[in-house]
Amino acid sequence: MTGDPSSRSQPLSGQVALVTGASRGIGRAIACRLAEEGASVALFARNAAALGETGAQVEAAGGRALAIAGDVSRPDDARGAVEKTLEALGRLDILVNNAGITRDTLLLRMSDEQWSEVIDANLKGTFLFCRAAAKHFLRQRSGRIINIASVVGLTGNAGQANYAASKGGIIAFTLTLAKELGGRGIAVNAVAPGFIETEMTAAIPAEARQAAAERIPCGRFGKPEEVASVVAFLAGPGSSYIHGSVIRVDGGLAMA
């Protein structure tokens, strides 16, 4: 976050966003950026204490924050998050499905649990929140849905069959929703990050990090704020004719 929020243009003033996986990393950066743009932000994640930290940063950025603890893979939690957002903040205009986990291992070593945990959190969670929010968006005939996929959903990645399948599924799901909902004033797009500096990528061994950076034409990992900038653009009025798109934020990795 930079500068005085009150001195910046706020194209999302008066709008309300719901961001899943908002307790850290990319989700926290997205929530803070949307707040800087003028939005009130409902924050959803499992970790209630970390959500409080994100909420404090959202408020410091000039926005109003609502913390909602829950599990994205539970239908009642998804419905409840939308209902609590509407009750507490009065409306819902933007849904950002960012929550995701990894359970990396090679296919022959992958357990049923490792497969199911990732699919449930990443793909099923996106489905549940989109379904819950879409009912409201259809009634108001407007809304923005932004799903956070991954470049590995486009390219695949050894040792991430579950994660790549979940993110590839999110991309196909996004394109399908765009066709279903586009005529009702609801824009649906996806953002596909590459290697981003988060707790998840911090766990990668140094040699593997170096090898990964060498594969990226830009020569470095991205920053959460660079993903958040694209999400804020898709949430704002400047993207009114962008629909059913998958925008890579990967430093050129997918073309390498």
Q: What 3 state SS string does the chain have?
A: CCCCHHHCCCCCCCCEEEEECCCCHHHHHHHHHHHHCCCEEEEEECCHHHHHHHHHHHHHCCCCEEEEECCCCCHHHHHHHHHHHHHHHCCCCEEEECCCCCCCECHHHCCHHHHHHHHHHHHHHHHHHHHHHHHHHHHHCCEEEEEECCCHHHHCCCCEHHHHHHHHHHHHHHHHHHHHHHHHCEEEEEEEECCECCHHHHCCCHHHHHHHHHHCCCCCCECHHHHHHHHHHHHCHHHCCCCCCEEEECCCHHHC
- Alpha carbon 233 to its chain centroid, in Å, reads 13
Annotation says 241 is catalytic: no
| Residue 3, Cβ density class (10 Å: 0-12 exposed, 13-18 middle, ≥19 buried) | exposed
CA 61 remoteness from chain centre:
19
Task: Indicate which residue of 44, 129, 163, 173 is catalytic.
Answer: 163
The set of catalytic residues is 163
